[in-house]
Chain A
C-alpha cells in the first residue's frame, strides 16, 4: 500500500501551515486519505515548526516523524529537521543545503518570473506538487479557492507561480530520477477534519445550546468554531472572564434546562474543579472538554500529552459520580460529544471528554461519520405526572426526575450544601445525609453499568496485549500490525470510556503492556485499581510529541 510522508518546516509566520494546508487539500481533493499533523512552538513569529502530511489510499490516521519528502523553508529548518529525512528521501529546498538537494529557487522565481515576491510559497507548493507527480490542475483548483477573495490578478499570479514551481521541480526530478510518486485522481472523497472541528460539531449534533469558555490552547478552537457558527444555529456563546466563571455559567445554563458545556486545558480545568464537584452535588448535567497539553503548570502550551487522565478521574472534592470519555479521532470525538451529553443528561452528572493537542490540531481522513450511530437523547420528567415535586427525590437507581425552573408550577431547587429531597440544607446525620450519600452512590453504579467496554484489536490469538486509551489508538494499531509482521503475536485493548470503568472479561495468560503518551503510566494505575491487573511493561513517552508506531516498536523491542 502506498504510504508517503511529506514534511514542511519553517519559522512561525513563514507560511508552513498554508503550504501544508494547500497540499493536504489538494491530495484530499484527488481522493487520497490524508493525515496532516503539525507541531509548533508557542510563539507567533520565529522558532521552527513543521507540518507532516501522510498520504495513503485508505485512512491510516497515525503520525510518523520520518519524512519521504522534506521541504525546509530556511536553513535553520533544514538543520533541525534533516535528521528526520528517510534514506533515499527527497530534500526539496531553495538552496543546495547538501548533496543531493532538489533545488528550486522559490523566491527568485517569484520575484523575477512572476513579479510577486510573496508568491514564493506558492512556487514552493507547486514544486512539492511537481515532486509528488500531482496534476497541476488539481493544485490550481485548490489555489483558486484559497485566493478567491484576493482578486483575479492575484489568482492568476499564484497560478503562474505554482506552474513554474511544478515545472522546475518535475524536470529536476526527471534529471535526478529521484521522485517515484504519482497521485492520479481516485473515486473517493474523505472528510479531512481535526478534533477541534469535529468536537464542536458533535456538540451541535447533541443539541448543546450554551457554551462559555476562557481561551486556552489547545481547547480554544472548540469555542472559536461555535463563536463563528453557533449563534446562527441557536447556541449561546460567551467568553468568560476566567475558567471558574465559564464552568459555573455552564452549570447555571444547564440547571435552567439547556444543554451546556465548557472547554479548557489542564490549567483552566484546575480552576474548574470546584465547580465539577458542584455539578456532582447539585446533580446538574455538565459536559467539559479537557484538551490536554503537557504540564505541570503552564507546561508546553502547544505540545501534546496524555497527562491528565488521573486528574480528570479524580477531579472534584468529595465523592460523586462522574464520567470520563477519551475519543481517539475526530469521528469518535463527534460521537463522544453526543454520548457525553446523553450520559450527563441521563445520570445528571458531570462528564469530562479528554482530547489533547494532537487530536485537536491534527487533521484526519474520515470516510463516513455515520451520524446515526449516536443520536441525542434527553431524559426530561413530565411536570404533569408529578404531584409534589422534589428535585432530589430518592429513587431506586438514585436518578431523580429533572425539571427546570419556570417550566411548570413545580419549583426547582439546587443546593451545593448537603440537602434534603426538596433541596434545602440539611445536617440530619442520622437519616438524610446517609440517604443522599447512598443515592449518589446508586447513581454511580447505574452509570458504571452504562459504560462501554474497550475495543479489542487482533487480541484473540495474541500472546501480548498493548493497553491504550484516547488519541494514541492509530499509532498503537499501526505498531501492532508492524510487530505482527515481525512475527510478534500482539493485540490491542483500547479504552475510549475510562471512568467509571465497566465490567470487562479480561483474557487471561497474556503479557500486558500499557502504551501511553505520558511519563507515569496513568492507565495502568487505573486498571490495577479496578481490575487488579498488573502490566509486564510500560511503553511511555511524555516528551510533548505524539506517540508514533515507530516509537512504540522501538521501546517494545528495547525491552524484549
Chain B
C-alpha cells in the first residue's frame, strides 16, 4: 500500500469530473503522507460547499458541520484534544462569507489549525452566485447588472493580524501546494492556505487563463517581512501570487496556558471531580 493510499476513502466523490478540487485532495494526501500522519491522528472539519465535502474523500476522522461554522467547531475539537492534527477544509463562501467573523476571531486566538480555503471566486454548489472574492463587474446569478461589491482580501487581513503562516497555492499545481501544506501543518498556530481553484462549471475563465496569470512569490521576498507581504497582497498582481507569503512571529497558541497546567491529554480522559471538590465549592456559600 502506497503512503497516499493509506488515506483512501470508498465514499463516492460528488465533485464535477475534472474539478481542480481533485488536485487539492491529492496535494493534501501527499502532504499528510510526507508528514507520516495516520488517519486516526487526523481530524478534518468542514462546513458546507464543494470544498466542505473533501473530508468524505479521504480516510480520517471528520466533522462536516454547518455552513460557515467549521472554524468554531474546529476550535472546540482542538481545545478538547490537542493531540489531533486538525485541518479546516473550506471554501471562500463558507469561510470568508458566512463564517467570516469566526476567521477574524480565530486570528486573535491563534489556534493550532490549518485553514485550507478553496477559492473559486464563485458560489459553485448553489450554481454560480457571487462570492466574497468575485471580481467587480462580473455578471452573476443575483447580479445581472454586474457585481458592484469589492472583493475581500483575507490573506492580507491574516498577515495584518499576525497569522502564524499565510500561503497561497494553485489547485492545478498539487506538488507546490503539497509543499505549502507541509509547512502549514507543521507550523504551530493558525496557518491560512488559500488555494486558487478555478470552477470549471461556473467560472468565466478556463484553467489556462489562470495558469497565464499565476506568478510565484518573488525570489527575494522575505516571509518574515510583514510590510512586504502586505504590499505584495495589495498589488494588482497580488491576487494571483502563489507561494509562502508570510510567517508570523511565534506567539502563544490557543489553550497554551490551560495545557501548561493540565497537559495535552484529551479532555475526555479526565474523570469528573470527586464529591469533595464539589462540596468545597459549595462550602463557600455557607456563612459563619
Q: What 0/1 readout, one digit per residue, does chain B (255-272) give for beta carbons within 8 Å of chain A?
A: 101100110001110111
Q: A542 interface residue, CB < 8 Å from B?
A: no
Contact call B77/A255, Cβ cutoff below 8 A:
yes
18 extra interchain contacts, Cβ-Cβ under 8 A, other than A229-B281, A244-B72? A29-B287, A191-B286, A192-B286, A210-B267, A212-B76, A238-B75, A249-B72, A251-B76, A256-B43, A256-B77, A256-B81, A256-B267, A258-B80, A278-B65, A278-B66, A376-B272, A404-B81, A425-B11
Supposing A234-B262, A405-B61, A405-B84 touch, asked if A253 and B76 sit within 8 A by C-beta, the answer is yes
Q: A231 interface residue, CB < 8 Å from B?
A: yes
Q: B36 interface residue, CB < 8 Å from A?
A: no
What residues of A have a CB within 8 angstroms of the CB of B2 in the complex?
A: none
Q: A265 interface residue, CB < 8 Å from B?
A: no
A58-87 interface with B by 8 A CB criterion: none
From B52-60, B116-124, B178-186, the one touching the partner chain is: B52-60
Supposing A248-B65, A274-B66, A414-B62 touch, asked if A210 and B80 sit within 8 A by C-beta, the answer is yes
B243-288 interface with A by 8 A CB criterion: 255, 257-258, 261-262, 266-268, 270-273, 275, 277-279, 281-282, 285-288
Selected contact of A406 from candidates B45, B61, B270, CB within 8 Å:
B61
Supposing A192-B287, A278-B65 touch, asked if A258 and B266 sit within 8 A by C-beta, the answer is yes
Q: Which residue of B lies closest to A231 (CB)?
A: B258
Closest Cβ of chain B to A397, distance in Å, is 23
Q: A304 interface residue, CB < 8 Å from B?
A: no
What residues of A have a CB within 8 angstroms of the CB of B285 in the complex?
A: 191-193, 197
Selected contact of B282 from candidates A249, A278, A369, A415, CB within 8 Å:
A369
Q: What 0/1 readout, one digit per residue, does chain B (69-85) give for beta carbons within 8 Å of chain A?
A: 10111111111110110
Alpha-carbon distance between A197 and B136 when the two chains are bound, in angstroms? 53
Q: Which residue of B lies closest to A363 (CB)?
A: B285
Pull 18 A–B residue pairs with CB atoms less than 8 Å apart, ordered by A.
A26-B287, A29-B287, A141-B288, A191-B282, A209-B80, A209-B270, A210-B79, A241-B102, A241-B104, A252-B79, A254-B76, A256-B77, A278-B66, A412-B61, A414-B65, A416-B65, A425-B53, A425-B56
Selected contact of A416 from candidates B14, B64, B261, B270, CB within 8 Å:
B64
Q: A25 interface residue, CB < 8 Å from B?
A: yes
Contact call A371/B278, Cβ cutoff below 8 A:
yes
Q: What 0/1 readout, one digit per residue, does chain A (224-260) give for beta carbons within 8 Å of chain B?
A: 0000010111101010111011101111111111101
What residues of B have a CB within 8 angstroms of the CB of A351 in the complex?
A: none
Alpha-carbon distance between A210 and B261 when the two chains are bound, in angstroms? 15
Contact call B79/A238, Cβ cutoff below 8 A:
yes
Q: B101 interface residue, CB < 8 Å from A?
A: yes
Selected contact of B287 from candidates A142, A234, A258, A413, CB within 8 Å:
A142
What residues of B have a CB within 8 angstroms of the CB of A404 in the complex?
A: 81, 266, 268
Q: B40 interface residue, CB < 8 Å from A?
A: yes
Q: Which of A29, A189, A241 has the most CB of B within 10 A?
A: A241
Q: A137 interface residue, CB < 8 Å from B?
A: no
Q: B225 interface residue, CB < 8 Å from A?
A: no
What residues of A have a CB within 8 angstroms of the CB of B278 in the complex?
A: 201, 204-205, 371
Chain B facing A: main interface SS:
helix
Q: A42 interface residue, CB < 8 Å from B?
A: no
- Residues of B in contact with A (beta carbons under 8 Å apart): 11, 14, 39-41, 43, 45, 48, 53, 55-56, 59-66, 69, 71-81, 83-84, 101-102, 104-105, 109, 255, 257-258, 261-262, 266-268, 270-273, 275, 277-279, 281-282, 285-288
Q: What 0/1 readout, one digit per residue, does chain A (179-195) give for beta carbons within 8 Å of chain B?
A: 00000000001111100
Q: Which of A201, A408, A410 has the most CB of B within 10 A?
A: A201
What residues of A have a CB within 8 angstroms of the CB of B43 in the complex?
A: 256, 405-406
Contact call B279/A371, Cβ cutoff below 8 A:
yes
Supposing A204-B278, A275-B69, A376-B272 touch, asked if A29 and B53 sit within 8 A by C-beta, the answer is no
What residues of A have a CB within 8 angstroms of the CB of B288 in the complex?
A: 29, 141, 189
What residues of B have a CB within 8 angstroms of the CB of A371 in the complex?
A: 275, 278-279
Q: A207 interface residue, CB < 8 Å from B?
A: yes
What residues of A have a CB within 8 angstroms of the CB of B272 in the complex?
A: 205-207, 376
Alpha-carbon distance between A233 and B266 when the two chains are bound, in angstroms? 15
Q: What 0/1 readout, one digit per residue, does chain A (252-278) give for beta carbons within 8 Å of chain B?
A: 111111101000000000000011001
Contact call A257/B69, Cβ cutoff below 8 A:
no
Alpha-carbon distance between A309 and B157 when the two chains are bound, in angstroms? 42
Alpha-carbon distance between A407 and B48 when the two chains are bound, in angstroms? 26
Contact call A236/B79, Cβ cutoff below 8 A:
yes
Q: What 0/1 readout, one digit per residue, does chain A (395-408) give for beta carbons within 8 Å of chain B?
A: 00000000011111
Q: Which of B41, B79, B257, B286 has the most CB of A within 10 A?
A: B79
Q: A424 interface residue, CB < 8 Å from B?
A: yes
Supposing A252-B76, A255-B77, A404-B266 touch, asked if A414 and B64 sit within 8 A by C-beta, the answer is yes
Closest Cβ of chain A to B278, distance in Å, is 5
Q: What 0/1 readout, one digit per residue, does chain A (271-308) give for beta carbons within 8 Å of chain B?
A: 00011001000100000000000000000000000000
Selected contact of A258 from candidates B14, B48, B109, B267, CB within 8 Å:
B267
What residues of A have a CB within 8 angstroms of the CB of B282 in the complex?
A: 191, 193, 201, 369
Q: Which 10 A-B pairs have the closest CB atoms?
A: A252-B76, A257-B268, A207-B272, A405-B61, A256-B80, A253-B76, A258-B267, A252-B73, A248-B72, A258-B80
Closest Cβ of chain B to A78, distance in Å, is 30
Closest Cβ of chain A to B71, distance in Å, is 8
Q: Which residue of A lies closest to B266 (CB)?
A: A257
Contact call B11/A231, Cβ cutoff below 8 A:
no
What residues of A have a CB within 8 angstroms of the CB of B84 in the complex?
A: 256, 405-406
Chain A facing B: main interface SS:
mixed
Closest Cβ of chain B to A241, distance in Å, is 4
Alpha-carbon distance between A217 and B155 when the two chains are bound, in angstroms? 36
Supposing A25-B287, A210-B80 touch, asked if A241 and B66 sit within 8 A by C-beta, the answer is no
Selected contact of B101 from candidates A29, A242, A252, CB within 8 Å:
A242
Supposing A189-B288, A256-B268 touch, asked if A414 and B63 sit within 8 A by C-beta, the answer is yes
Q: A99 interface residue, CB < 8 Å from B?
A: no
Selected contact of A244 from candidates B69, B83, B271, CB within 8 Å:
B69
What residues of B have a CB within 8 angstroms of the CB of A246 in the complex?
A: 72
Selected contact of A257 from candidates B40, B59, B81, B262, CB within 8 Å:
B81
Q: A417 interface residue, CB < 8 Å from B?
A: yes
Q: Which of A258, A405, A416, A425 has the most CB of B within 10 A?
A: A405
Q: Which residue of A lies closest to B69 (CB)?
A: A248
What residues of A have a CB within 8 angstroms of the CB of B262 in the complex?
A: 234
Supposing A29-B288, A371-B275, A424-B11 touch, asked if A407 and B76 sit within 8 A by C-beta, the answer is no
Contact call B281/A201, Cβ cutoff below 8 A:
yes
Q: Which of B11, B109, B277, B285 has the most CB of A within 10 A?
A: B285
Closest Cβ of chain B to A291, distance in Å, is 19
Supposing A210-B79, A252-B63 touch, asked if A408 and B40 sit within 8 A by C-beta, the answer is yes
Q: A461 interface residue, CB < 8 Å from B?
A: no
What residues of B have a CB within 8 angstroms of the CB of A424 in the complex?
A: 11, 56
Q: Which residue of B lies closest to A422 (CB)?
A: B11
Q: A49 interface residue, CB < 8 Å from B?
A: no
Q: Which residue of A lies closest to B14 (CB)?
A: A425
Selected contact of A255 from candidates B73, B102, B279, CB within 8 Å:
B73
Q: Which of B40, B80, B279 has the most CB of A within 10 A?
A: B80
What residues of B have a CB within 8 angstroms of the CB of A376 in the complex?
A: 272
